[in-house]
Amino acid sequence: MITLEEVFPPFALTISCGTVALRVLRDDDLPELAELVRGGIDAPGLPMPFLQAWHEEPFAPGTPDGFPTTSLRWWWGQRATCAPEEWRLALAVRRDGVLVGMQDLHARNFGQTRTVLTGSWLGRDHQGRGTGTLMRQLAVGFAFDELGAQRCESGYIVGNHASAAVSRKAGYVESGRRPIVQGTRNGPVAVDEQRVAVTPDTFVRQGGAVTVEGAEVLRRFWGIER
């Protein structure tokens, strides 16, 4: 019988280094992911890191408008965005088998732009251990080495020193600031976002050996030629 990985090639992807592994989010991961978010994401003293305060919604499983239902729509929507002209990878990050955060990759018209947008977060209890830097390095290395990307872009709220440090350690350089509006529990708030970008020339790789499985079928799925 045909396998799920053959039906949907992103499920065949695994990127790992040491005890850290990145795989496309599956439905079986969702209960653990909901509990991870419930435990908190924001680091004390740092700005709220997201465009929308989705992680601060009331924890109300089984209701139509509380967490995690509202976030499920987003996570499932990422999975559904899987065409060559626009694709997303929502990668669940595990360390020692425990779900610790998410690493996202997003591209539009990748065949022409060769540019990937990256975003990531860790549960509060798993921050400050080097996992954030490693998972970003693994995602960027995958984009460059396996997909043939020429540039990865990201951003963080000015004042978020932890996010700035992760970007810097992975070789991102500043590429300008822009004003944005965050949706907080107290309404819209104007903040400045620092944009950053990394290229193969500036990329700082992790120290350990990296294993990638499922890249070839994923390239065929998206029509990517290296």
Percent helix, strand and coil across the chain, each rounded to 5?
35, 35, 35
Domain extents in the chain: 4-222
Q: Answer positive or negative: Cα dihedral of 60, 64, 69, 74.
A: negative
Specify the pLDDT at position 65.
84
pTM value is: 0.95
Is there a contact between 47 and 157 (Cβ–Cβ < 8 Å)?
yes
Is there a contact between 134 and 112 (Cβ–Cβ < 8 Å)?
no
25-34, 45-54, 139-148: the lowest-pLDDT one: 45-54
Q: Residues 194-212: what's their mean pLDDT?
A: 97
Q: Is the peptide bond before 10 cis (omega within 30 degrees of 0)?
A: no
Q: Is the pLDDT of residue 66 over 80?
A: yes
pLDDT tens digits along 94-153: 999 999 999 999 999 999 999 999 999 999 999 999 999 999 999 999 999 999 999 999
Q: In angstroms, rounded to a whole number, what is the distance separating the alpha carbons of residues 17 and 128?
A: 18
pLDDT tens digits along 86-95: 999 999 999 9
Question: Which tokens hold the place of 52?
Answer: 């929308």
| CATH for 4-222, options being 2.60.40.1180, 3.40.630.30, 3.30.110.30, 1.10.3720.10 | 3.40.630.30
Residue type, 13: L
